[in-house]
Amino acid sequence: VGIQTNNFDSEFLIYPNPATNKLFITSNNGLKIETVNIYNQFGQIVLKRNEIRENIDISTLVQGIYIIEVTSDKLKVREKLKIEK
């Protein structure tokens, strides 16, 4: 059994988007978030977090468009993330 990848109907709520300093991620169906990766426009990981508790500090990231990847034990979701300063 592989990990399902879904780019359209997210099982996770990622807010606010656009974001400035903090990012919140919640599961719509109780899935435990294992990892969060944020990629820049070149596909490089610029932020990686394991086991998200309350929020993610993104204050070190510069303004721009990123891809955020949220992984649980059953699902992997990628969405566009805009950071504004």
For 34-68, write each residue's pLDDT tens digit: 999 999 999 999 999 997 878 999 999 999 999 99
Instruction: Please report the pLDDT score of residue 67 as a whole number.
Output: 98
Rounded to an integer, what distance in angstroms lies between the CA atom of residue 57 and that of residue 54? 10
The answer to whether 33 and 60 are in contact (CB under 8 A) is no
Of 85, 69, 65, the residue nearest 10 (C-alpha): 69
**pLDDT-based confidence at 9, cuts 50/70/90?**
low
Distances (CA, A) of 23 to 38, 50, 57, 59, 73: 11, 14, 7, 10, 21
Mean of the pLDDT values across residues 25-30? 83
Instruction: Please report the pLDDT score of residue 47 as a whole number.
Output: 97
pTM of the model: 0.85
Rounded to an integer, what distance in angstroms lies between the CA atom of residue 15 and that of residue 21? 11
